[in-house]
């Protein structure tokens, strides 16, 4: 499940959104503590009129404090809260202020709105700084990395390197080009893919109204419709297929797993299993469904008890370790059901 979209600002003044294909648009609303993008509201109202998903972002300058910038952003966009996804644009000179400033913004905005905003940054910034406090706060990542500067249209599976994103286990939205070209507009556009469906987008925008906060979706491509590869790795494709089998949101992520249980999950792919260093969180709905199916204690946290019941269910050796043999048996089971 994924959606295609663009992010725009006053630099795209004059764009006719009715002529441009997109599932979502994220618009610049403010910058620092003194700039409002006068085109933002027109863009948002047009997109809403077209029945598309919307988001608004704040471009941080780092010249005051995270709390002050969050308050300024909120004063300008509070009319969008509950309908539009919120995001912090972390680039330029603001990067020098470090993750603590960004976290202050995100926490302050959450206090004001009840919403966890995404944070936008380049993949290199993800890896240069310690973002563990932000990632641990379950703030979703909107990540940018470009393969090249060649003009391109929307891509189903855009390139990204395999070096990871620092402390972030996954990304919710991926900006893969700043030279996008789409029908209906002659200039360059930033192109994005959101690893979620419309329901998940609504949970980011309004968690209280839309059935709870979403787990952060990963940077994985939609799974193939064919058989799973039986490779013993509980990675994105196997997670997504498991979610599809149980009817949970198929976002490819196993959320809120305690780091202390990782030793029992040797074949859990770290790019999509979200291990928390501190706290336990609400656990994973997919894990709860697996526990019910296997007859294990239902708490949403995959640990030794879950693995032992999984192995008994599959008829493999019960050693309490979810290794390649156990996962291969589960992949084979899914392929036959």
Q: Is 61 exposed, middle or buried (0-12, 13-18, 19+ CB in 10 A)?
A: middle
Which residues contact residue 131 at a Cβ distance below 8 angstroms, ignoring those fewer than 6 apart?
99, 166, 167, 168
**CATH architecture of the domain with range 3-205:** Alpha-Beta Barrel (3.20)
State CA 200 to chain mean position distance: 10
* Domain residue ranges in the chain: 3-205, 236-335
Q: Which long-range contacts (CB under 8 A, 24 or more apart) does 151-154 make?
A: 151/179, 151/180, 151/181, 151/188, 152/177, 152/179, 152/180, 152/181, 152/191, 153/180, 153/181, 153/182, 153/191, 154/4, 154/21, 154/180, 154/182, 154/191, 154/193
DSSP summary character for residue 213: P
Residue 13: CB atoms within 10 Å: 12
First-to-final CA distance of the chain: 21
What the block records as the tokens of 311 is 């192995």
Tell me the C-alpha distance between 136 and 286, whole Å. Answer: 20
Tell me the C-alpha distance between 41 and 56, whole Å. Answer: 10
Tell me the C-alpha distance between 242 and 330, whole Å. Answer: 9
Tell me the C-alpha distance between 238 and 234, whole Å. Answer: 6
Integer Rg of the chain from CA: 21
Alpha helix ranges (H) inside 38-143: 40-49, 66-77, 99-113, 123-128, 132-136
Tell me the C-alpha distance between 300 and 306, whole Å. Answer: 10
Residue 108: CB atoms within 10 Å: 19
The phi and psi torsions of 161 (rounded to 5 degrees) equal -75, 175
Asked whether 236 and 269 are in contact (CB, 8 A), the reply is yes
**Reduced DSSP (H G I as helix, E B as strand, rest coil) percent helix, strand, coil of the chain, to 5:** 35, 20, 45
Per-residue tens of pLDDT for the chain, all 337 residues: 689 999 999 999 999 999 999 999 999 999 999 999 999 999 999 999 999 999 999 999 999 999 999 999 999 999 999 999 999 999 999 999 999 999 999 999 999 999 999 999 999 999 999 999 999 888 999 999 998 889 999 998 898 887 788 899 889 999 999 999 999 999 999 999 999 889 999 989 987 654 444 444 433 333 334 688 899 999 888 998 898 888 777 778 888 888 999 999 999 987 788 888 766 667 888 999 999 999 999 999 999 999 999 999 999 999 999 999 999 999 999 998 8
Give the model's pLDDT for residue 244: 82
């Amino acid at each position: 499940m994924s959606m295609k979209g663009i992010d725009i600002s006053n630099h795209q003044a004059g764009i006719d959104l009715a002529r441009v294909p997109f599932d979502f648009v994220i618009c610049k609303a403010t910058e620092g503590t003194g700039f409002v993008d006068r085109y933002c509201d027109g863009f948002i109202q047009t997109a809403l009129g077209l029945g598309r998903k919307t988001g608004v972002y704040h471009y941080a300058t780092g010249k005051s404090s995270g709390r002050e910038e969050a308050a300024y952003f909120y004063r300008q966009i509070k009319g969008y809260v509950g309908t539009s996804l919120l995001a912090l644009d972390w680039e330029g000179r603001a990067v020098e202020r470090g993750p603590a400033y960004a976290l202050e913004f995100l926490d302050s905005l959450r206090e004001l709105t009840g919403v966890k905003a995404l944070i936008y940054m380049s993949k290199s910034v993800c890896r240069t700084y310690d973002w563990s406090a932000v990632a641990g706060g379950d703030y979703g990542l909107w990540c940018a990395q470009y393969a090249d500067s060649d003009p391109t249209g929307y891509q189903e599976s855009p390139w990204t390197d395999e070096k990871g994103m620092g402390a972030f286990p996954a990304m919710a939205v991926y900006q893969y080009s700043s030279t996008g070209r789409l029908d209906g507009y002659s200039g360059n556009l930033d192109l994005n893919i959101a690893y979620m469906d419309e329901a998940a987008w609504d949970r980011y925008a309004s968690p209280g109204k839309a059935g709870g906060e979403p787990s952060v979706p990963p940077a994985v491509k939609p799974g193939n419709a064919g058989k799973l590869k039986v490779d013993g790795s509980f990675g994105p494709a196997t997670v997504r297929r498991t979610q599809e089998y149980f009817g949970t949101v198929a976002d490819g992520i196993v959320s809120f797993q305690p780091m202390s249980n990782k030793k029992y999950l040797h074949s859990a792919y770290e790019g999509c299993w979200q291990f928390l260093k501190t706290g336990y969180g609400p656990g994973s709905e997919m894990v709860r469904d697996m526990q019910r199916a296997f007859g294990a204690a239902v708490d949403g946290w995959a640990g030794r008890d879950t693995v032992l019941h999984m192995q008994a269910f599959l008829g493999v050796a019960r050693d309490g370790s979810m290794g390649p043999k156990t996962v291969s048996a589960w992949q084979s089971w899914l392929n036959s059901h």
